[in-house]
Structure 1
Amino acid sequence: MTMTENITLPTNTAQPDRAAEVQCTGIIKSFADGTVALRKVDLHCPSGAITVLLGPSGCGKTTLLRCIAGLETPTEGDIRLGDRDITQSDPRRRGVAMVFQNYGLYPNKTAFGNIEYPLRRARVPKDERRERVARVAELLRITHLLDRKPVQLSGGQKQRVGIGRALVREPAVLVMDEPLSSLDAELRVSMRNELRALQRKLGTTMVYVTHDQTEALGLADQLVVLRDGRIEQSGNPEEVFAYPASTFVAGFLGAMNLLDAQPLGLPPGTIGIRPEDLVPGHSAGALTLTGPVIDTDLTGTERIVHFRCGQQTVRMRVRAGDLVPTDITVHAPADRIHRFDLEGNRIGVRR
């Protein structure tokens, strides 16, 4: 049974004192080698919600997460947790707990010992430690694994232990650094659903880092796209996907076709069309694209068709069983075309 099927909090389960909002203002982070990882980042993570930081490797998302957790200190700017300034606070006293990408488990300790460890360091009395570990283990459905060491656990079980070690601290904020990246595809989907259900049950504020757009869209209440140490766009995931603020967001989130507008008889700039928004055949008043098919990729129930339109390559989605001709003609309805200026910024209002 997975947690998504039936999550029941054990009697007297300790909840966080309160879920706290996180406010980062003017965060700059420079390293000794001259690398600037964050460039005046302003970020608000709402209380009790999941904020997902999304972007390619090197965009600054993990550095920002580590600043919130206290594992890095900003060069400039401040971080507040609720009404407290935690910029310089000891990580153990912030009310922030972190789940790492590689689980971070001690190989010589049992699952119980790993979950208990932060409480032992905090000099929590033994009886209270046992009680809190038992509550968290029951919540995560790993009570039967508490005597096992990490080498005896599967990837998903190790991740649950890592999450348990964070939750046992009863944090106001839980931060997670690509915690599912080492799991296989099927388990990632299952764990993603479980994480979302767990967060909804506990009401904890969560800040989650990933480079996987499917994971980001599936988890986020607020989606924040980073690029080169800056926030490129933030908002609810439906809004960010439907109305990308730049060609970078459009290309990174959903792999939109980004085409030079001038060769298509349009004003200078870039037009964006998602592969799923292209429709076979001509249509009066719509932008028509035509050209030879150069490749196809089977993705399961769908097929991605690549064709040339002038000097540009265009992708469209069709059903896997559809006949793909040698030459193709498609049109893009006007309300499905995204327009960007020469600097790559969105033109016009929402559709």
Structure 2
Amino acid sequence: MTAIDTRTAPPLDTAPVDGAADVHCAGVSKTFAGGTAALRGVDLHCPSGAITVLLGPSGCGKTTLLRCIAGLETPTSGGIRIGDRDVTQTDPRRRQVAMVFQNYGLYPNKTAYGNIEYPLGMARVPKRERRDRVTHIAELLRIDHLLDRKPAQLSGGQRQRVGIGRALVREPAVLLMDEPLSSLDAELRVSMRTEIRTLQRKLRTTMVYVTHDQTEALALADQLVVLRDGRIEHSGGPEDVYGAPATTFVAGFLGAMNLLDAQPLGLPPGTLGIRPEDLLLGEAPGALTLRGPVVDADLIGTERIVHYRCGRETVRIRLRASDPVPEQITAHAPTDRIHRFDPEGNRIGKQP
């Protein structure tokens, strides 16, 4: 983020907001110098008081979209509204948004208290109100006993809480989070995402959250938005996106669905999708049977993902880790658990 000259810049808008606000992106496109198109006509509504998670691989446009909402990037075309205000050309300081970055962005020479208080000081909020707001946020984040420590004296999780506190103390209409947990270890990520969701539920803040982690996305999202090459592939509730993916890309990216060419199985051109957990050992009358030799197996805790060859395809099935891995697998897919996609990769029908 570009450094701000506090001698000449207008103060941050940190006045308390009367409730959260929704976010509307209408036809938002962003093309960088050199012709790289990061966003291509994105239409998105982020509901007030909910967590919208932007999910996708590197380079899909999710961080660019977040930065456009924040005002750190200006769309090449299209518009952005926060609540009832068109903020497409509005200075970032006037949007009543706050952003939490991946690298915390804390001032090393300031205490946790000083870091959280900083935006309020820039906004010339009275000292007593600053103290009250910092204390309140610190108590919510359970870091009130750490306020006199500097960042070097804090753990990664504690530093991230300070970063979140510095954003929340402004009481923004929208809180933007750009992969805030990616630098934490796996165990801490689990506990921090639980804390973030609990805090959001308590404050009812509108949150737009960027991640490339599927588990994190499914755990946090009220609305899940999967992006690919600057476009939205699927948007909806996490159960709907996982349970009935709109395209083969979403099906493969979210949950690693088996995607099989339908024609060698005696079906019309297209793709069949079957999740590893929906394959059952053995045969069943009228069910699609997939059999072949085992080629690999991955242990994941109490379960094992077994890879086996079925014709030219590699199929994955989820088995109990305590069961021996056979040399050959015969498994069937119940008809109501098979997903069908047309030759262009678009879903046929709404349900499996």
How does the TM-score come out when normalised to structure 1?
0.95
Tell me if the contact between 2:16 and 2:170 (Cα under 8 Å) persists in the aligned partners: no
Looking at structure 2, the residues matched to 215 and 136 of structure 1 have their Cα atoms a distance apart, in angstroms, of 24
Aligned residue number for residue 82 of structure 1: 83
* Cα distance in structure 1, aligned partners of 2:18 and 2:113: 24
Task: Name segments (4+ residues, structure 1) moved above 6 Å.
Answer: none
Please say if 1:19 is aligned against 2:17.
no
Q: Which stretch of the first structure deviates more once superposed, 85-94 or 37-46? A: 85-94
Alpha-carbon distance in 2 for matches of 1:225, 1:255? 14
What's 2:123 paired with?
Answer: 122
CA distance in 1, matches of 2:58, 2:350: 30
Deviation digits for residues 63-93 of structure 1 (CA, Å, limit 9, x no counterpart): 0001111111111111101110111111111
Identity of aligned residues (%): 80
Q: Deviations over 1:117-140 (max 9, x none)?
A: 111111222222222111111111
Whichever residue aligns with residue 29 of structure 2, its letter is I
SS at match of 1:25: strand
In structure 2, the partner of 1:211 is: 212
Aligned to 1:186: 187
- How many matched pairs? 338
Q: Secondary structure at the match of 2:225?
A: strand
- How far 1:15 moved relative to its partner? 6.9
**Alpha-carbon deviations, 1:201-222, whole Å to 9, x = none?**
0011000000001100000000
1:259 maps to 2:260: yes
**What RMSD, in angstroms, separates the aligned Cα atoms of the two structures?**
1.1
Q: Within the alignment, does 1:96 sit opposite 2:83 as a pair? A: no
1:123 and 1:91 mapped to 2: Cα distance? 18
Other-structure match for 1:237: 238
Residue aligned with 2:306, SS: strand
2:295 corresponds to: 294
Please report how far the alpha carbon of residue 18 of structure 1 lies from its aligned counterpart in structure 2 after TM superposition. 1.2
Q: Is the 8 A contact 1:282 1:330 kept in 2?
A: yes
Contact 2:96–2:172 (Cα < 8 Å) also in 1: yes
Tell me what 1:247 maps to: 248
8 Å CA contact 2:178–2:211 kept in 1: the answer is yes
Partner in structure 2 of residue 169 of structure 1: 170
| Residues 1:307 and 2:308 are matched in the alignment | yes
Which residue pairs with 1:9 in the alignment?
none
Question: Partner residue of 2:30?
Answer: 29
C-alpha distance in structure 1 between counterparts of 2:34 and 2:107, whole Å = 31
For the pair 1:49 / 2:46, whether they are aligned, the reply is no
Please tell me the residue identity of whatever aligns with 1:237: P
Provide, for residues 180-200 of structure 1, a one-character-per-residue CA deviation record: whole Å limited to 9, x for no partner. 111111111111111111001
Aligned residue for 2:196, secondary structure, equals helix
Match of 1:140 in 2: 141
Contact 1:70 1:89 survives alignment (8 Å): yes
What residue in structure 1 maps to residue 106 of structure 2?
A: 105
Q: Is the 8 A contact 2:107 2:115 kept in 1?
A: yes
Query: Are positions 1:131 and 2:143 aligned together?
Result: no
Which piece of structure 1 moves more, 115-124 or 269-278? 115-124
Matched-pair contact (CA < 8 Å) for 2:295–2:308: yes
Measure how far apart 1:33 and its partner are.
Answer: 2.3
**Contact 1:16–1:204 (8 Å) recurs in 2:** no
**Residue aligned with 1:346, SS:** coil
Shift of 1:106: 1.1
Q: Give the distance between the partners of 1:59 and 1:145, measured in 2 at CA.
A: 38
The one-letter amino acid paired with 1:337 is I
Write the letter of the residue equivalent to 2:325: V
Matched, 1:202 2:207: no
Q: Is the 8 A contact 1:15 1:202 kept in 2?
A: no
Superposed CA deviations along residues 229-256 of structure 1, whole A, max 9, x for unmatched, are 0000000000010000000000000000
Using the TM superposition, give the Cα deviation of residue 350 of structure 1 relative to its aligned residue in structure 2, in angstroms: 1.7
What secondary structure sits across from 1:259 in the alignment?
A: strand
Look up the SS of the partner of 1:33 in the other structure: coil
Q: TM-score, normalised by structure 2?
A: 0.94
Mapped partners of 1:290, 1:266: distance in 2: 17
Residue equivalent to 1:153 = 154
Secondary structure of 1:267's aligned partner: coil
Q: Which amino acid aligns with 1:323?
A: P
Task: Tell me which residue corresponds to 1:285.
Answer: 286
Per-residue CA deviations over 1:16-66 (Å, capped at 9, x if unaligned) read 411101001010111112211000000100010000000000000000001
Aligned equivalents of 1:126 and 1:337: distance in 2?
Answer: 61
Distance of 1:77 and 1:326 partners within structure 2: 56
Judging changes above 3 Å, is the alpha-carbon distance between structure 1 residues 349 and 134 closer, same or farther for their aligned structure 2 residues?
closer
Gaps of 5+ in 1: 1-13
Amino acid at match of 1:315: R
CA contact (8 A) 2:339 2:351 kept: no
